[in-house]
Chains A and B, each alone.
Chain A
Amino acid sequence: EKQLVESGGGLVQPGRSLRLSCTASGFSFFDSAMTWFRQAPGKGLEWVGFIRSRGYGVKTEYAASAKGRFTISRDDSKSTVYLQMTSLRTDDTGVYYCGRDRYGDHNMPGDVYDTWGQGTTVTVSS
C-alpha cells in the first residue's frame, strides 16, 4: 500500500522557520515526483511546489507565494521529501499535505496526485 506520512508541523512565530518532512512507503520513491500542498483553515487547496526525481533532474518549481521563502528537497535514501519554510507569515497557517504523482514522474502536462499524506498542521502566530 502506498503511504505518505508528514511530520514537523507546529506553532511558530512570524518570521521564524520550520521544516516539514514527508516519508514515503509502498512505492518507488526514487523515481517519483513529490509535491507539497496546503490548505488554510476553512479554505481550498493550494499547490505549494514540487520536486522531480533524479531522472528528471531533481527540478523544483514553486508557487509565487512560496518562491524565495520555501525550499523543497529530497533524500532518496530515506524516502523522504522536505519542505523548508523560512520567513513564515500568519497567512502560511494551514494544513500541509504531500502528494505523489499518479504516474511517478514525467514532464508536464499531466500532474495528478493519487496518494496523499494525512497532513501536518502549521500555525504561524505570535
Chain B
Amino acid sequence: DIQMTQSPSSLSASVGDRVTITCRASQNIRTYLNWYQQKPGQAPKLLIYVASNLQSGVSSRFSGSGSGTDFTLTISSLQAEDFATYYCQQGYSTPITFGGGTTVDI
C-alpha cells in the first residue's frame, strides 16, 4: 500500500497568511495526487487534482505542485472560510489512500 504522510498535522495561522501544507508518498505516484478540504460536519470538497489542476469553482488562492513523492498545497492569502482540515489523496493505485490531514485553525 502507498502511505501518504502530511505535515504539519495542524497549524495556526491568521487571515492573510500564506500557508503551505506538504504531502509525501511512500513511492512514486507521478502526479496522481489530489487535495481536499473538509469542514466540520461536511463532506470533503475537491480543491486540486492531478497535483496542480484547480477544480472548477475553487478560488485561485489555492494552488498545488509536485510530482513523484513530494507535493505541496499552498493557500496564498488565507481567508476566514479556509479554516478547515485538508487531506491529500493518491489516485495512483489501490488501495486508494489519504494523508492523515492538516487542520488549519486560527
Q: Which residues of A contact B (CB under 8 A)?
A: 35, 44-47, 50, 61, 63-64, 97, 102, 108-114, 116-119
Contacts and interface: CB of A to CB of B under 8 A. Distances in A.
Interface stretch (B14-22, B66-74, B76-84, B88-96): B88-96
A117 B43 contact: yes
Interface of B: 29-30, 32, 34, 36, 38, 42-46, 49-50, 55, 87, 89, 91-101
The SS class assigned to the B binding surface is loop
Contacts of B34: 112-113
Contacts of A109: 29-30, 32, 91-93
Interface of A, helix, strand, loop or mixed by DSSP: loop
Given A45-B87, A102-B46, A117-B43, A108 B92 contact: yes
A97 B87 contact: no
Contact of B97 (A47, A117, A119): A47
